[in-house]
């Protein structure tokens, strides 16, 4: 089989069917749901009373190997709707019957290998013998059709590749990803936590995590001021009528929390900041000479996510957007988008991300506004990307309800793509809120509105940073940049003086003068991923020096304390 993406998807889809066959042979009472190919492998959802155990996965894997060895042919055929329903009703496969009832086709497509038959449109490989290099990975809970009110199923995940080398490389990648898991590192480095008693999907930032967040926020604010933005702060709730005017209540209600009654009126906790920025814009009469006006806010918003979709910092229910809205004339639109793209790239590159996947998401089926505006907006986005020289793909129908957008996904050190940055053009909200400026002819004209986020949300971006750097942040981002370690009690006072001078010179430091072995102190500092360890003994004390040991090295370099301070300040200044 030729190695290409289409055949790989067929291979993975075929593996899901072989897994389902193995499960049915081992556990005939299990009911089948669905089993598609996915980006990195495949899964199948099963209705089984008892949980699948690791031992069960071993049994299923062995049975799959037997089926692969049999080299069964994947055969395609069709049944009428009535025949298909009767076939699965007779087998007690209620989930398949429900799927058929929701399909519009007169005839149903089936695939079989050996005695196993499944409802499926394909594609598949020709024979099961091509599925030698697979691995079952995990079991997770899944609701039927993603509905929390429906049956709870068990989802077995697996992966398969053309060759053993490809499979081994992927499994090694998974092991590295586990070691970089931001949830694990966040706990080990004391950065953040979640608490079920407070509610899932809500982040508690610890002192060290909050310190990193402050560094990110200060950098963000300073750069926005340099780039002509005005900083805002807006409330966390507002009257429901605002969200009705904006269209969010009609188009986005499933992601919004229920209204709360305040003085007999409905209020909403905000899911986004844009209507608030519009209200500030409208507090004054605006002239064409003032445009563009750029507002930016680190605004905390709240959106409903299904509990099964929550994932550490990557998907939460309360998060802070690095949000901004630009109001400009139509003739300024393209240049503003170009400037935003350049700003995005500057921010991402400063944090160490230099590879991206770029998409232009076009008009969805359910949208607001005029088609002519959508076409102008989409053209402006594409022209700006071309002007900057970024290669992009079209993502059909994935725009937001009020306009098309650019999505920039950053690639981390494991080559995984993360959605963070977005740029959206909006003609709809200015219309809905009657946003205007006075043009050269003293007539009111509607501006164009650009929504944009450079990092996306601070929570997700921080999670990506943790995994990208494996918790060993660049010096400028580290909550603790240096740790002073004395060898014996006789250097305690000198260690305190070194610590004080570091803090006076803007270096975030900790002091470890415990009566413990130096080796243990160094090991703890390394586990905490602190960039600089400054060891002080009698010689360092006599000479006003420190023995510098970096977290990535076993070597120590003795230098005057003043020289270390200059070195550290330079690396921090250069965002190293």
Domain spans in the chain, listed from the N-terminal domain onward = 5-171, 187-469, 475-573
pLDDT in the model for residue 147: 81
What ranges make up the beta strands (E) of 8-91?
Answer: 31-32, 37-38, 41-47, 75-80
In DSSP terms, which residues pair with 118 in a beta bridge? 111
pLDDT tier, 554 (very low <50, low <70, confident <90, very high otherwise): confident
pLDDT in the model for residue 306: 82
- Please say whether the dihedral angle defined by the alpha carbons of residues 188, 192, 197 and 200, taken in this order, is positive or negative: negative
pLDDT tier, 399 (very low <50, low <70, confident <90, very high otherwise): confident
Query: What letter does residue 296 receive in the DSSP assignment?
Result: E
Token pair, residue 86, equals: 């009767």
The continuous run of DSSP H or E covering 89 comes out as: helix 81-91
Dihedrals φ, ψ of 71, to 5°?
Answer: 55, 50
pLDDT tier, 248 (very low <50, low <70, confident <90, very high otherwise): confident
Whether the pLDDT of residue 566 is over 80: the answer is yes
Please compute Rg for the chain using Cα positions: 29
Mean pLDDT on 248-259: 87
In angstroms, the CA 197 to CA 465 distance is 27
pLDDT tier, 203 (very low <50, low <70, confident <90, very high otherwise): very high
Mean pLDDT on 442-446: 95
Fold of 5-171: 3.30.980
Structural contact between residues 543 and 562, judged by C-beta atoms closer than 8 angstroms:
no
Q: What share of the chain is helix, strand, coil (3-state, %, to 5)?
A: 40, 30, 30
pLDDT tier, 65 (very low <50, low <70, confident <90, very high otherwise): very high
Dihedrals φ, ψ of 299, to 5°?
Answer: -100, 125
Q: Options 3.40.50.800, 3.40.50.300, 1.20.1440.120, 1.10.8.80; which CATH number does 475-573 get? A: 3.40.50.800
Residues in the chain, total? 576
Please, which residues have CB within 8 angstroms of residue 520's CB and are 6 or more apart in sequence?
none
Nearest of 218, 21, 27 to residue 120 by alpha carbon:
21
Angle at 322 between CA 282 and CA 220, to 5 degrees: 105
pLDDT tier, 251 (very low <50, low <70, confident <90, very high otherwise): confident
Structural contact between residues 119 and 89, judged by C-beta atoms closer than 8 angstroms:
no
Higher pLDDT, 44 or 402: 44
pLDDT in the model for residue 398: 85
Give the catalytic positions in this structure: 274, 303, 321, 323, 325, 405, 451
Nearest of 311, 319, 316 to residue 201 by alpha carbon:
316
In angstroms, the CA 220 to CA 213 distance is 10
Dihedrals φ, ψ of 554, to 5°?
Answer: -95, -10
Q: Tokens 């609701």 appear where?
A: 143
In angstroms, the CA 445 to CA 435 distance is 8
pLDDT in the model for residue 5: 87
Higher pLDDT, 306 or 562: 562
Whether the pLDDT of residue 170 is over 90: the answer is yes
Structural contact between residues 411 and 355, judged by C-beta atoms closer than 8 angstroms:
yes
> What phi-psi label fits residue 369: left (phi over 0), alpha (psi between -120 and 50 degrees) or beta?
left
CATH architecture of 187-469: 2-Layer Sandwich (3.30)
pLDDT tier, 131 (very low <50, low <70, confident <90, very high otherwise): very high
pLDDT in the model for residue 74: 94
Mean pLDDT on 217-232: 97
User: Could you write out the DSSP letters of every residue in 435-460?
Assistant: --EE-TTS-EEPPEEEEEEEEEEHHH
Nearest of 186, 178, 221, 220 to residue 203 by alpha carbon:
186
pLDDT in the model for residue 250: 84
Token pair, residue 546, equals: 């420190």
Whether the pLDDT of residue 144 is over 80: the answer is yes
Distances in Å between the alpha carbon of 106 and those of 50, 83, 122, 487? 36, 11, 17, 81
pLDDT in the model for residue 372: 84
Token pair, residue 72, equals: 């069964």
Q: Would you say the pTM of this structure is higher than 0.75? A: yes
Residues 485-537: pLDDT tens digits? 999 999 999 999 999 999 999 999 999 999 999 999 999 999 999 999 999 99
Percentage above 90 pLDDT, the chain: 83
pLDDT in the model for residue 285: 94
Please, which residues have CB within 8 angstroms of residue 252's CB and are 6 or more apart in sequence?
271, 401
3-state SS class at 84: helix
Token pair, residue 273, equals: 């900041």
Please, which residues have CB within 8 angstroms of residue 64's CB and are 6 or more apart in sequence?
15, 18, 19, 22, 131, 134, 136
pLDDT in the model for residue 31: 96
H runs (alpha helix) in 267-397: 274-281, 333-350, 371-388
Residues 316-332: pLDDT tens digits? 999 999 999 999 999 99
Nearest of 53, 105, 55, 98 to residue 79 by alpha carbon:
105
Mean pLDDT is highest, among 221-235, 369-383, 408-422, 547-561, for 221-235
Percentage above 70 pLDDT, the chain: 100
Provide the terminal-to-terminal Cα distance of the chain, rounded to the nearest Å: 47
Token pair, residue 181, equals: 């898991």
């Amino acid at each position: 089989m030729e190695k290409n993406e289409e055949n790989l998807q067929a291979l993975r889809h075929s593996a899901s069917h072989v897994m389902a066959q193995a499960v049915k042979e081992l556990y005939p009472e299990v009911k089948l749901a669905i089993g598609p190919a996915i980006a990195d492998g495949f899964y199948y959802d099963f209705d089984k009373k008892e949980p699948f155990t690791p031992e069960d996965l071993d049994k299923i894997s062995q049975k799959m190997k037997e089926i692969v060895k049999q080299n069964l042919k994947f055969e395609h055929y069709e049944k009428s709707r009535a025949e298909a329903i009767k076939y699965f009703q007779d087998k007690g496969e209620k989930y398949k019957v429900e799927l058929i009832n929701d399909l519009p086709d007169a005839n149903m497509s089936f695939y079989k290998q050996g005695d196993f038959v499944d409802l499926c449109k394909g594609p598949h490989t020709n024979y099961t013998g091509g599925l030698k290099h697979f691995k079952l990975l995990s079991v997770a809970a899944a609701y039927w059709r993603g509905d929390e009110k429906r049956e709870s199923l068990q989802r077995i995940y697996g992966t398969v590749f053309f060759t053993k080398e490809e499979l081994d490389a992927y499994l090694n990648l998974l092991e590295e990803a586990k070691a970089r898991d931001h949830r694990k590192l966040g706990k080990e480095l004391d950065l953040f936590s979640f608490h079920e008693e407070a509610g899932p999907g809500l982040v508690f930032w610890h002192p060290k995590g909050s310190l990193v967040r402050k560094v990110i926020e200060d950098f963000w604010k300073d750069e926005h001021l340099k780039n002509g933005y005005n900083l805002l702060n807006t409330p966390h709730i507002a009257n429901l009528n605002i969200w009705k005017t904006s269209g969010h209540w009609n188009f986005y209600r499933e992601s919004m929390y229920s209204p709360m009654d305040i003085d007999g009126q409905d209020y909403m906790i905000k899911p986004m900041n844009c209507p608030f920025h519009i209200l500030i814009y409208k507090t004054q009469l605006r002239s064409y000479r003032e445009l563009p006006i750029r507002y930016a806010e680190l605004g905390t918003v709240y959106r409903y996510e299904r509990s099964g979709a929550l994932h550490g910092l990557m998907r939460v229910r309360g998060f802070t957007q690095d949000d901004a809205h630009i109001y400009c004339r139509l003739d300024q639109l393209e240049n503003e988008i170009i400037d935003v793209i350049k700003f995005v790239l500057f921010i991402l590159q400063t944090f160490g991300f230099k590879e991206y996947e770029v998409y232009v998401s076009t008009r969805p089926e359910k949208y607001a506004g005029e088609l002519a505006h959508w076409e102008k907006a989409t053209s402006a986005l594409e022209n700006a990307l071309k002007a900057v020289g970024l290669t992009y793909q079209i993502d059909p129908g994935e725009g937001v309800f009020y306009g098309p957008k650019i999505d920039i996904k950053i690639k981390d050190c494991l080559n995984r793509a993360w959605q963070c940055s977005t740029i959206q053009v909006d003609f709809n909200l200015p219309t809905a809120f009657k946003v205007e400026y006075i043009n050269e002819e003293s007539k009111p004209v509607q501006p164009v509105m650009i929504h944009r986020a450079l990092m996306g949300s601070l929570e997700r971006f921080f999670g990506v940073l943790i995994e990208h750097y494996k918790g060993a942040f660049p010096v400028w981002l580290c909550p603790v940049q240096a740790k002073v370690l004395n060898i014996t009690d006789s250097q305690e006072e000198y260690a305190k003086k070194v610590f004080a001078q570091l803090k006076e010179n803007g270096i975030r430091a900790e002091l470890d003068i415990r009566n413990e072995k130096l080796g243990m102190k160094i090991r703890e500092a390394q586990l905490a991923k602190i960039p600089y360890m400054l060891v002080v003994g009698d010689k360092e004390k006599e000479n006003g020096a420190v023995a510098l040991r970096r977290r990535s090295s076993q070597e120590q370099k003795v230098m005057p304390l003043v020289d270390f301070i200059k070195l550290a300040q330079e690396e921090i200044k250069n965002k190293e």
